[in-house]
Every structure is written in C-alpha cells, then in structure tokens.
Structure 1
C-alpha cells in the first residue's frame, strides 16, 4: 500500500478522492516541523504540500518518495535542487486556481477603475455628490500590460479582451505566436511599453530574476494615471518605492493581493493610502479554487503511482527522462 504524506491541510474533496483508492493510505501533518517531517517522510511514497518548507534534510530522510505534489504553483518553499538530484518529480496544480486568480485580478482592476472603495464609503454616508467627481474610468479601450503570460496571465487576457481592452503581454518563456493566439500583442521588453499602459498586471513566478522586478525605475516609467496590479507574488514589487510613487501622485493607484512576507506589517505605509485596494492573498481561496486545487494535487499523486503523470504539470521535467 502506498503512503501519502499530507503536509498542512487538504480540502475534504481531495481527501475523498484519495479514500476511493484501496491501495493508498494517507497521513496528515497539520503542524509540521523538520524533525516531525524527517520521521514521517521515511516511508512516504508521495508528499502533498502547500506553503510549508520541504528542506533538503527532510528530503534526504525519504527512502521511497516518488513525487512531491504542490497545492498551487509556487515552488519557493521546496528544495528543488535536492528533489531534482534525487530524480523526484515536482507536480503543481496551477491550472486549478488560474481562473480564480484571474478573477481576483479583474476585481482589483475594477475596484480601482470605478473608485469602488470611495464610492461605497460615500454612499454609506449619504454622499451621492461623489458621483459628480468623474474620477471613475472605463476599461474599454484602455491598455493592459501583462507581465508573465502563463496560465493566470492568459486567463486575465481573456477577461480583459471581453471588456474591450488592448492587451500587451511580455513573457520571455512564451513564444510570440502563443501570445498572439490568445489575443494579445507580444512585447520583447516590458520596460519599453510601461509608459503606454493604463494597467500593469504582474503574473510571473517568484525567482531571483524577478525579485523586485518593479522598482523605482520601472514605476517612474509608468503614466501618473496608471494602475499597478500584483496578485502574483509580493517580492515582485519594491514596496517602499511603490508607496512613494502612490503617495506623491506619480502613480494613480495599486491593487495588491500579495505582500513581501505572508502579510503586511501593521506599520506598512501602504495600508494608510486610499488609492490602494488590498486583499489578503485570497485570489486562490475561493470555494471552487480550493476544491479544485486539492483534487488536482491528489490526482497528480495518483497519476504518478499509476505511471500516467502528465509531464505538463511537472516543474523539473528533466527527471522524467530515462
């Protein structure tokens, strides 16, 4: 019988899928530490993990590990060098949350474009005169620059096109023909078109190359009427540079679903600004997304056991080669 080690929580829909297999048993570790994981992973054939660290010392303790299945798409919490050296595939469930993350992006865009927070507060205070300020704008004919054209970026493009927006897309790992197929215009260097965009939306992976991708220099290239959206990873944006641009009117507004660290500190100055719309990294936390995420994470494990794992969901595909 195969053992699946579930680190942190897994939605009931994912657990139900595993229970259907009589050749699979699972163990949930809700509060993982390295010492606990080193002990529990020794006889595990698979690991399902969310945001907990899976360190090299823990991986070294595994003697039967066939696959690590990540709920979501970030792999920054995994020792990829160790897993790849031991030829253990790492599967992600990015497609499970793509539509939900894209909807969160559009929510942030619309809240900014329509001055949603200000209008809500004014209406509750019987201030209907605010409707005459003419600060709200349409998305129609606005230019959206998408940086990172993977699963989520493509879903954002599809929705933005439905609003009548002009979509530019930059991704050095995606062929221009693919970008065009999805209705967007490819741009080889995104900094050169920052000044043309009304909205800039970030959807690239977190890495050493993308850390502080948007800093003071990039923000200075944007129009003062433009909006920045980050619903991907907090480290993509230099937060203090963003604060200064927003506080001084160099940038019209920002929508943030992610921050440096899991959550912003109470003294983070971005929390004091009225031209920022915030959400608690909830883009992938809808009822449907959490269910899909858990089921896909489990299905990737079962497929690995059955020898039918889809290479498209594997991050380190080199381990699949003979």
Structure 2
C-alpha cells in the first residue's frame, strides 16, 4: 500500500480526494521541523510538501520515495541537486496559483499608484486636507516593464494592456516574435527599459546563488516617480539599495510580497517607510489557489504511483528520463 505524507496544512478537499483512494495510506505532520521530516521519511512513497526544508538528509533517508510534490510553484526549500542525485522527481503545481499571484501583483500596483496606505491612514485620522496633496496617479497610459513572461508575467501583461497601459516585456528565454505577437514591446535585457518604465513588476525566479538582480546601479537608472512591484523572490532585490532608492532616489513607492528574509527582521529599514506596501509572501494563497495547489500536488503523487506523472509539472524531468534508459 503506497503511503503519502502530508507535510503541513492543506485544504480539506485534498483529504476528500485522498479518501477516494482507499488503497493509499495517509499520514499528516502539521508544520514539521526539518529533522521531523527526515525522521518520517522511511516507508513514505510520496510527500506533499509546503515550506519545511527538504535537503540531503531527507533524500538520503527516503528509502521508498517516488515523488516530492511541492504545494506551490517555487521550490527554494528543496535541495534539487540532492533530489536529482537520489533519483527523486520534484513536481510543482503549474498554474494552480498563477491567477492569484497575478491579481496580487495588480493589487499592489494599484495600491502604490493610488497612494492607498497613506490615504487610508489620513482618513482614519480625519486628515481630509490630504486631498490637496494630489498624490494618487492613474495607470492608464503608463508604461509597465514586466520582467519575466511565464505563467504569471503573461497574465500580468494581459491585464495591464486591458487597462490601456503600454506593456514592455523582458524575458531572454521567450522569442521576441511571441512577445510582439501579443502586441507588447520586447527588450532582451530589462535594464534597457528601466529609464522608460513608470512601473516595474518582477515575475522571474531568483538567482541560484541568491544574488540580486536589482542593485543600486539598476535603481539609479529608473525614472523619477517609478513604482516597483515584487511578488517573485525577495532575493531579487538589494534591500539596502531599495531603501536608498525609496528615500533618496527615483522610486516613489514599492509593493512587496516577498523579502530576502522571511519574516523580515523587525529592524529592517523598509518596514518603517509609508511608501512601501507589504504582504507576508501570500500572493499565491487565496482560498481558490490554496485548494487548487493542494489538489494538484496530491494528484501529482497519485499519478506518480501509477507511472503517469505529467512531465509538465517536473522540475527535474531527467530523473524519469534516466529511469527509462
């Protein structure tokens, strides 16, 4: 009897799906530590993993594991090299939370452009004189630089175009004919469009070594009054340089769902700025996306047991390919 380990909290419908498969044994660990996960691996055939780190020790102790199913599209908490070396397929959930992240990024864009947080505070403090400051801006007619044209970036670009924005897309892995075919401007290197973008929104993975893509050099090239949105990875930004750009540089505001350290240190200077709109890495966790991610992750396990796991969801498909040789 195959055994699935649910490592974390999941939508109730995931248990409903598993109940339809009485041939599968289910064990749940709520918010396990890394060591608890290592100790639980013997005899487990599939793991549905949320945020607990899964490294070399867990891979080595997984004597029966057929799949690591991430409850999400990111896999920073999984040692992919170790998983691959041990012949363990790593699957993600594809587009299960793409709409959620896109909508969150769009919300952050509108909130920062409309100066939502300061205006909310002013209203609560009966400061209606704030109306005379005229700080809110419209997005119609503005240029937005979409960095990354994957599942989320494509959705963001489409929504921005619907709001009559000029969309510039930077993604060296997507042919320019594809991007131009959608009616967007193409740049191979996002840095080439920084001077022209009113809004920059990040939708690309972090670098493997954790190095930032946006440093003081990039921030200095942004146009005065620009807004930065990041729902991708906190490691993409040099946070000290971002603070300088928001206080003494060209940036008017930033909307951040991610930070380099999560949760961030209480003395992180960015937390003290009223032109920074923050959320706790929750863009992809709506009610709908939470359900979709759970169902997809569990289905990936079930499909792996039956030998029909869709390669579309795999991060290291070479594991299965080598097994076919």
TM-score (norm 1): 0.95
Unaligned runs of 5+ residues in structure 2 are none
Report the count of equivalent residues: 322
Specify the SS of the correspondent of 1:194: helix
SS for the counterpart of 1:112 is helix
Taking a change above 3 Å as real, the CA distance of residues 183 and 22 of structure 1, as seen in their structure-2 partners, is: farther
Using the size of structure 2 for normalisation, the TM-score is 0.94
SS of residue in 1 equivalent to 2:188: coil
- Residue 210 of structure 1, CA deviation: 6.3
CA distance in 2, matches of 1:34, 1:274: 36
Q: Find the counterpart in structure 1 of residue 26 from structure 2.
A: 26
Pairing of 1:176-215 with structure 2 (within 5 A):
176-208=176-208, 211-215=211-215
Residue aligned with 2:319, SS? helix
Partner SS for 1:96: coil
| Mean CA deviation greater in 165-174 or 198-207 | 165-174
What is the DSSP-based 3-state SS (H/G/I as helix, E as strand, rest coil) of the residue aligned with 2:250? coil
Q: Mean Cα displacement is larger for which, 101-110 or 149-158? A: 149-158
> Is the 8 Å Cα contact of residues 31 and 52 (structure 2) preserved in structure 1?
no
Q: Which moved more, 1:131-140 or 1:259-268?
A: 131-140
Which residue is 1:248 aligned to? 248
User: 2:84: which partner in 1?
Assistant: 84
Deviation at 1:209, TM superposition (A): 5.8
| Paired residues for 1:141-160 under 5 Å | 141-160=141-160
Quote the RMSD (CA, aligned, Å): 1.6
Structure 2 counterpart SS, 1:252: strand
Aligned ranges 1:231-270 → 2 under 5 Å = 231-270=231-270
CA distance in 2, matches of 1:29, 1:312: 28
More deviation, 96-105/14-23: 14-23
Indicate the SS of the match to 1:320. helix
Instruction: Tell me whether 117-126 or 178-187 shows the greater mean CA deviation.
Output: 178-187
Are 2:19 and 1:15 equivalent residues in the alignment?
A: no
Residues 19 and 25 of structure 1 are in contact (CA less than 8 Å); yes or no, is this contact kept in structure 2? no
Q: Equivalent residue for 2:102? A: 102
C-alpha change, 1:154 and 1:84, in structure 2 (3 Å) is same
